[in-house]
Amino acid sequence: MKTTSYDYKYQHLGTVYRLIEQFELISRTDLAKLSGFAPASMTVLTKTLIDNKFILERTSQNLPSRGRPAVGLAVSPFYWHYLCLTIATNKLSVTLCDLSGKLIQLCDYPITQEEYSNLDDYILSSLQHFATQIDIEQKNLFAISVSVVGKIDATRRIITQLGQHLIHCPIVDRLATRFSQPILLNEHFQLWFLAESALGSLISNDNVIFLQLDDTVNLSVLLKGALLHQDEHKRMSVDKMIMPKFSALSDEIAEGLNDVERYQLANQVTFPALISLIDRYLPNTLTTTQDKIAWFCEQVEQKNDKAHPILEHITDNLAYMLMNLVNIFSTEKIMLNSPLLRIKQPLFEQIQAKLKQNLLLSDLNIDLVTSQYDWDSTIIPSIAIKLGIYEGTLLKGTIEF
Whole-number Å distance between alpha carbons of 113 and 77: 38
Judged on CB neighbours under 10 Å (0-12, 13-18, 19+), 128 is exposed
Q: At 153, is the pLDDT very low, low, confident or very high (cuts 50, 70, 90)?
A: very high
- Give the architecture (CATH level 2) of 5-75: Orthogonal Bundle (1.10)
Judged on CB neighbours under 10 Å (0-12, 13-18, 19+), 52 is middle
- Give the architecture (CATH level 2) of 205-370: 2-Layer Sandwich (3.30)
The CATH superfamily assigned to 81-194 is ATPase, nucleotide binding domain (3.30.420.40)
Of 329, 334, 323, give the one whose Cα is nearest residue 360.
323
- At position 28, the amino acid (one-letter code) is R
Q: How do residues 325-349 score in pLDDT, each as one tens digit?
A: 888 888 888 999 899 999 999 999 9
Cβ atoms of 381 and 348 within 8 Å: the answer is: no
3 state DSSP class of 257:
coil
Domain boundaries, the chain: 5-75, 81-194, 205-370
Question: Which of the listed ranges 54-58, 99-103, 309-313, 357-361 does the model predict with the highest average pLDDT?
Answer: 309-313
Query: Do 81-194 and 205-370 fold alike per CATH?
Result: yes
Q: How do residues 159-180 score in pLDDT, each as one tens digit?
A: 999 988 899 999 999 999 999 9
Pairing of strands 367-370, 333-337: parallel
Whole-number Å distance between alpha carbons of 362 and 301: 32
